[in-house]
Amino acid sequence: MAVGNHSSVTEFVLLGFTELQELLFVIFLLMYITVLVGNLGMIILIRTNSQLHVPMYFFLSHLSFLDVCCSSSIVPKLLSGLLAERNVISFNGCIIQFFFFAVLGTTEAILLAVMAYDRYVAICEPLHYLVAMPHEVCVQLVVFSYAAGSVNALVHTSSLLQLTFCGPNLINHFYCEMPPLLLLSCSDTRLNELVMATCVGLIITTSVLAIVVSYACILLTIWSIHSAEGRHKAFSTCTSHLLAVALFYGSASFLYFHPFPENADQGKTASLFYTLVTPMLNPFIYSLRNKEVRSTLRRAMNKLLSCLY
């Protein structure tokens, strides 16, 4: 990715976290290991168990993949920065980190809306579920999510490369993100801010609207079920997804719709939820709230223990 000749800044300094760095390193390292083990374990569990080869778990495996990639694009640099005297990232490295993070974050936002639609079809149109959601359609929806994420990231990255960065080069964050980068530009960033607000607003609004409409229909369907046990079973398949949606969109909305200079520390906290806490919690949310995943995991653990002993 070429850098414009008009940019004199060749590297940025990520200020990150300046207190309790050794303690934060241990905490973040343990959280990152949990992200890797939990999400990769979820992917392996879904891929190797034929009972989980249904659309819901197909989407869940891609959600886990996105969580691993999203954390891996940020956390290793965060961890190395906590042990370094000066956490430096090159200009190209910063742009590349931003690009991949934008791809993964946007893709996950759209995928969560796709998963809500999948739950709508499964609960509201159960007799037509396999017809409406064959594997080919699921693949197309996932490909669309990745494609939309890539296009969004290209738009933001291209507009970012048009800016001039002539100093200072201190980013008051632990990774390269659009709001703090715009603060360092010597150029007029009003167009970039408009593009960012428009794209982020459009993606979040359409995704949340799709989720709200899907769950409104789901609630109406559940309400019409006469059996209390049937209502509980139908709603229990949605609670995990709703928790994941609340965590993801809550942190993302705070990150992009609050002024960064006045809320830099709060922005870092929201970013931690976005990049580390949510990816760490998602496997637990889906495994603890999902009977099929729990039973599959229990069988896998019993099989592993029988092989060991």
Q: Is the pLDDT of residue 275 over 80?
A: yes
Percent of the chain with pLDDT over 90: 39
Pairing of strands 11-14, 88-90: antiparallel
The total number of residues written for the chain in this structure: 309
pLDDT of 220-272, one tens digit each? 888 877 777 767 766 777 787 888 888 888 777 776 666 555 556 777 888 88
Q: Is the pLDDT of residue 5 over 50?
A: no
User: Domain-by-domain residue ranges, the chain?
Assistant: 11-301
CB burial class (10 A; 0-12, 13-18, 19+) of residue 72? middle
What pTM value is reported for the model?
A: 0.87
Closest CA to 252 of 208, 195, 191: 208
**d(Cα 153, Cα 62) in Å, to the nearest integer?**
19
Q: Is the pLDDT of residue 159 over 60?
A: yes
Alpha carbon 212 to its chain's center: 19
User: Which residues is 88 bridged to in the sheet?
Assistant: 13
CATH for 11-301 (1.20.1070.10, 1.20.1050.40, 3.40.50.720, 1.10.3660.10): 1.20.1070.10
pLDDT of 211-220, one tens digit each? 999 999 988 8
Task: Tally Cβ neighbours within 10 Å of residue 96.
Answer: 16
Measure CA of the first residue to CA of the last residue in the chain; give whole Å.
Answer: 52
Q: At what angle do helices 190-223 and 135-161 cross, to 10 degrees?
A: 160
Ramachandran quadrant class, 163 (left: phi over 0; alpha: psi -120 to 50; beta: rest): beta
**d(Cα 63, Cα 104) in Å, to the nearest integer?**
10
pLDDT of 63-79, one tens digit each? 999 999 999 999 999 99
